[in-house]
Each structure stands twice: as structure tokens, then as C-alpha cells.
Amino acid sequence: MARHKGYIPNGVIPAVLLPFNSDFAIDEANFRKHLRAVAATDGISAITINAHSTEVASCAFEEQRRVLDIADDEVGDRLPIVNGVWADGSIEAARIARMAAIRGASALLVFPPAPFTLGQSPEMALAHFKRIADASDLPIIVFQYPLATGQGYPRDTLLRLCEQVPSIRAIKDWAGNVAQHEWHVRTLQSLPRPVNVLSTHSAWLLSSLVLGCNGLLSGSGSVIPDLQAALFRAVQNKDLAAAQRINDRIYPLAQVFYADPWADMHNRMKEALVLLGRLPRAVVRPPLVKLGAAEIARIRAALIDAGLLAATGRDAA
């Protein structure tokens, strides 16, 4: 059962990576090491697993359960664990939600079902979330995709979800549209039962946070949880000068991590951790493929520009 009863998602929530061995099996030893390192960061409020960053689309149900068990064992006593719910069908989504509640998660991050790319109705979205909510009493984070993908929830649908599914307590906002993002912040966080906006606009994080987000949930936190925590703290303190200095360090990494194709963002983060000496290898599961030498060189240059890597060698500070 959840160790952190009453948890409401907010603050800085890194989404960790999932290391693999050369045979694509989960590298449990290095996953444990990675979890401990991220969890030791001052200023973070939770950790996310079984999400984009852990290549959840390539992980079977049993593997997702094992990932949660490891995370709960390593950091569950210290931090809430947000468990992703990635499923194209609502029945399977409910099964994942039930498993997560039983095995120690403190919140659910619900990804939109892929069939919504072909079109959705408010009734479909409500049915999906109500089935998940019926399977678990954990707070839900709605992953809000860009509307152009077909998987994003229009304003009226989002408001109905927040009204009719009381366990929805936050959204992971990837709207990709500044005006829509600001509407989310102003509207959802002011509801009678507030719904926190957690930015995942990691390519323009400072710009996003100054709109008033109550947190951030980002795969970049697997590499720079300390910088994200410092940036969030500076924005909360309305210290623009400090926020700009921190953002200047984050910017080169955002440029390389979130270059096209976006599917490689966490692939690049794994390579960054190898360059920093925090992972022994950067193995990704197909259809992702190993990055080329030129791209790895760009990641190295960005780490140097961010002050995380010395120009002549490794520096894991």
C-alpha cells in the first residue's frame, strides 16, 4: 500500500531512466544506483517510474511491476513514487492502477490511450479515467498531450474530468502551446478542488514555470534534478536573476535533449549519464537505436557548457 497517504502531486518530480544490459534485460543494480542518486537530491518531492523515461512502451506488465518493486524498495520510504499507467485499453489501465496501489505507489500518471489519435469524445475520456479511479484510490495525474496529437483533452473535456473524477489532482502539462498552458495554470489551480499543473515543457522550462505552475515532472530530472530543483525554488522565490543564471546552465542541455526526433530524448539522457560516469552503458530497447558518435559529441559539449563535465574528462559533480 502507499507509504505516503494523502499525497498531492506538486513540486519537482524527476522521471528516472531505466538502464538495460546489453541483452536488453533490466539492469537492476544500476537502476538501484540511479534511483538512489536522484532521490538524494535536495528539493525534489517525488520520483516517477514506468513512464516515457523508463521506456514503458517496451516493458511488459511484469517488468513494470518489478520496476515499481525496486523503486519502492530503494526510495519508497523517503519519497512518494508516481507510477505511470500506459495502456491502450481501459481494462488494462485499471489493472496497472490496481497493481500500483497494492505495491506502494503514491500516485498515478495516466497516459492517453493511443486510439484517441483517431478521435475521442468526452464520454470516452471520462469512461477511461473513471475505470482507473474505480480500481485505485491513488491521486491521478492526467498527462495532457498537445491537442494536435488527438490525445490531448480539450478544455471542456478536461474540466469535466476534473469535476467528475475527484482523484484527479494534477496534470502533467505538455500542451506545447503557451496560451493553452497559461489557461491550465490559471483555471485548474483555481478550481474549488485545485488541480496542480506540473510542467513538462522541459525545452522552455523557465518560461513555463514563471506562469505559476505548482510543479514540474520531467525526464531531464534524471540528469539534472539539482538544477531543476534550484530553478523551481528561484521562481517560487521570485528571484529572476538566480532563475536566469540557472536556466543558462540548463539551456544547452535542453537544446540537445529535445532535438528532433523527440523519441530519442531519453536515449540522449542515458548517453549523458554515461558521459558523467553515472551509468556504464546507454542501451535502449528497439525500435530505439544507439546514437551515433556525432550526436554523443554534441551531448558532451552541452554537458561542458552546463558546467557538469570538465572539458578534459569526467566530472560527476
pLDDT at residue 304 is higher than 50: yes
pLDDT value of residue 283: 98
- 133 part of a folded domain: yes
Q: Which of 3-7, 166-170, 254-258, 298-302 has the lowest mean pLDDT?
A: 3-7
Residues 6+ apart with CB under 8 A from 116: 124, 125, 150, 151
- 105 part of a folded domain: yes
Q: If you average pLDDT over residues 265-291, what whole number do you get?
A: 98
pLDDT at residue 77 is higher than 50: yes
Per the DSSP assignment, residues forming a β-bridge with 14 are 218
| CATH assignment of the domain containing 54 | 3.20.20.70
Cell matching residue 110 = 495516466
Q: Match 519502492 to its residue by C-alpha cell.
A: 72
Per the DSSP assignment, residues forming a β-bridge with 197 are 171
For 112-154, write each residue's pLDDT tens digit.
Answer: 999 999 999 999 999 999 999 999 999 999 999 999 999 999 9
- 312 part of a folded domain: no
User: Which class for 1: exposed (0-12), middle (13-18), buried (19 or more C-beta within 10 A)?
Assistant: exposed
- 297 part of a folded domain: no
For 204-257, write each residue's pLDDT tens digit.
Answer: 999 999 999 999 999 999 999 999 999 999 999 999 999 999 999 999 999 999
The 10 Å CB-count burial string (b at 16+, else e) for 50-88 is bbbbbbbeebeeebbbbbbebbbebbbeebbbbbbbbbe
pLDDT value of residue 311: 83
- 181 part of a folded domain: yes
Q: Are 299 and 252 in contact (CB under 8 A)?
A: no
pLDDT at residue 317 is higher than 70: no
Domain carrying residue 72: 11-245
pLDDT at residue 170 is higher than 50: yes
Give the Cα separation of 257 and 205 in Å (integer). Answer: 13
pTM for this entry: 0.96
- 185 part of a folded domain: yes
Give the Cα separation of 265 and 263 in Å (integer). Answer: 6
For 180-194, write each residue's pLDDT tens digit.
Answer: 999 999 999 999 999
Give the Cα separation of 170 and 109 in Å (integer). Answer: 9
DSSP assignment of 110-177 equals EPPPGGGGG---HHHHHHHHHHHHHH--S-EEEEE--GGGS-SPPHHHHHHHHHH-TTEEEEEE----
Give the Cα separation of 126 and 129 in Å (integer). Answer: 5
pLDDT at residue 313 is higher than 60: no
Give the Cα separation of 84 and 81 in Å (integer). Answer: 10
For 83-117, write each residue's pLDDT tens digit.
Answer: 999 999 999 999 999 999 999 999 999 999 999 99
Indicate the pLDDT class of residue 316, thresholds 50, 70 and 90: very low
- 272 part of a folded domain: no
Q: How many CA atoms, within 13 angstroms, populate the side-chain half-sphere of residue 305?
A: 16
For 9-43, write each residue's pLDDT tens digit.
Answer: 999 999 999 999 999 999 999 999 999 999 999 99
- 235 part of a folded domain: yes
Total count of domains within the chain: 1
Residue in 191, 82, 71, 101 with CA at minimum distance from that of residue 143: 82
